[in-house]
Structure 1
Amino acid sequence: MTGPQRIVCLTEEPTETLYALGQQDRIVGISGFTVRPAQARKEKPKVSAFTSAKVEEILKLKPDLAIGFSDIQADIAAELIRRGVEVWISNHRSVDGILDYIRRLGALVGVAQQASAYADGLQRDLQVIADTAAKLPRRPRVYFEEWDEPLITGIRWVAELIQIAGGDDVFPELSREPLAKQRILANGDEVVRRAPEIILGSWCGKKFRPERVAARPGWDTMPAVRDGQLFEIKSPLILQPGPAALTDGVREMARIFQEWGRLHG
């Protein structure tokens, strides 16, 4: 077996990807936020959160690679590097970036061909969803809310998956901003003005409360609230830039949009 043999996954997407590629035996530690696959949570020690990690526990595992994601984990990465651990921090933000990430991770652990085939399959499935979405009578305007206090709109891969599933993100310009703090809305007035027909909520780490969203001042004038089109997409399905978003996450969006299309056909 080539490549790293003892990997600590600081976020969920490398864990899900390595399991999908049959390389789970390399994983010696995972994020405490990991829910996919369920098997990983049962059999791997939890050694990190999003912005913190049990560095001493990680070192006891004698990892030859730690894999994390984005600026959110820069401090964890720096500490591990100082302690002699090799670290890969990916920084992808798009659907193409997720597919490329899968291919790169596969190559890193010596299963490049298998990873490429897996990514190609995911890409084909996305095309099938897009082809089905093209038959919708009309594309719904969609507001995706990543957090409620303050209001944070969806990141790029979310906006792209909304598009693939048949909708149009009402904040496409903000989705290009890589950092959450750059996607904060000053207030809800601009959401009201853009009049979404569907609201998708995925509040990272807590349950989406559609009744609270509907009760916001002035939001009752929006088509989505007026027609009761508020839905939760659970954060593990869409807010992790890995296989979950390209499978269950986008399929859930497509199901919601298809049902909306039947009502508005």
Structure 2
Amino acid sequence: MTKTVKDQMNQDVTLPVVPKRIVSLVPSQTELLFALGLREEIVGVTNYCIHPAEEIKQKIKVGGTKSFDVEAVKRLNPDLVIGNKEENEENGINTLKQFLPVWMSDIFNLEDAVDMILRIGALVGKESEAKSIILNIERGFSALPTTKLSSKTAAYFIWRKPYMVAASDTFIDDMLKRAGFQNVFGTLSRYPEISAEQLKQAQPDYIFLSSEPYPFKEKHLQEFQNICPDAAILVVDGELFSWYGSRLQASAAYFSKLGQSG
């Protein structure tokens, strides 16, 4: 028996009522599938899927999120492939769609993430588990003071050489707002390159150096301190800012502590 559903890109996807062989092409959504209680059903993941660590080791890898191996995915004979518009390369996804049911997420904010969790829960027969995860997420974010640090500004760096930041229309930008920070590059689009001079002119109160995708470390703090001597500069957990699955259950508590640092 099959069912036809809409994904977050409003595309029809026909799949088994209860899929038994799932390939996930997105790290945060892979972690979500495990959090929903799936184990044997997950047959393939990407090289960047790292949580839960021990269980991921047992799964077949199909390449990167952008450069996944289409033939490797097909060989696993999945009855459901789960991807994301931003994280996965369009041509590869379109090729997969010719052979397999591919469900795509498209996420810009917390509401989109909650919607994705609920929909994937329904796809895989784990609606009650999905609702439990959502309840935990919503409880955490509702406990964040809506006015906390609202006057504090921040720049969120995702890359070095060249410098790149998270700007408007990104999930990270939404997380910054919920954490109580104004994004100093919020007038720019998506993930722009910026110069040291632009950063100096922006004069953020906080500079957040994300642990991913560029692996910022403590050794990079002085480089940014030289540009903005008065800023509080912190290496932050990029997963808690950008992973939009079950990991969001820990994000709000983490955000609540950020303004107390620096």
TM-score clears 0.5: yes
**Residue identity matched to 1:148:** R
1:11 is the counterpart of 2:26: yes
1:149 is the counterpart of 2:161: yes
Distance in 2 (alpha carbons) for counterparts of 1:35 and 1:202: 17
Task: Give the aligned partner of residue 247 of structure 1.
Answer: 249
**Residue identity matched to 2:172:** V
| Residue 63 (structure 2) aligned to one of 48, 51, 60 | 48
Distance in 2 (alpha carbons) for counterparts of 1:31 and 1:251: 28
Q: Using the TM superposition, give the Cα deviation of residue 112 of structure 1 relative to its aligned residue in structure 2, in angstroms.
A: 2.5
1:160 is the counterpart of 2:160: no
Task: Give the aligned partner of residue 124 of structure 2.
Answer: 109
Tell me the alpha carbon deviations over residues 122-149 of structure 1, each in whole angstroms, 9 at most, x when there is no partner: 1111111x13x7466x743111011123
More strand by share: 2
| Residue 75 (structure 1) aligned to one of 84, 88, 91 | 91
**Residue identity matched to 2:206:** I
Structure 1 segment 193-232 matched on structure 2, within 5 A: 193-202=201-210, 204-209=212-217, 211-212=219-220, 214-215=222-223, 219-221=227-229, 223-224=230-231, 229-232=232-235
Task: Give the aligned partner of residue 173 of structure 1.
Answer: 187
Where 2:111 maps in the other structure, the secondary structure is: helix
Distance in 2 (alpha carbons) for counterparts of 1:216 and 1:118: 37
TM-score by length of 2: 0.81
Where 1:29 maps in the other structure, the secondary structure is: strand
Distance in 1 (alpha carbons) for counterparts of 2:109 and 2:63: 24
| Residue 259 (structure 2) aligned to one of 238, 253, 257 | 257
Tell me the alpha carbon deviations over residues 201-259 of structure 1, each in whole angstroms, 9 at most, x when there is no partner: 125344214554643696144x21xxxx2222243333333232x23444333322123
1:30 is the counterpart of 2:45: yes
Distance in 2 (alpha carbons) for counterparts of 1:194 and 1:247: 32
Where 1:49 maps in the other structure, the secondary structure is: coil
Distance in 2 (alpha carbons) for counterparts of 1:2 and 1:39: 29
Structure 1 segment 117-132 matched on structure 2, within 5 A: 117-128=132-143, 130-131=144-145
| Residue 184 (structure 1) aligned to one of 184, 190, 193 | 193
Cα distance change, pair 47–191 in 1 and its aligned pair in 2 (3 A): same
Q: Is the 1:93–1:241 Cα contact (8 Å) retained in structure 2?
A: no
TM-score by length of 1: 0.81
Tell me the alpha carbon deviations over residues 66-90 of structure 1, each in whole angstroms, 9 at most, x when there is no partner: 11111442122122223x1111121
Q: Is the 1:147–1:203 Cα contact (8 Å) retained in structure 2?
A: no
Q: Which ranges in structure 1 are unaligned for 5 or more consecutive residues?
A: 261-265
Number of aligned pairs? 244
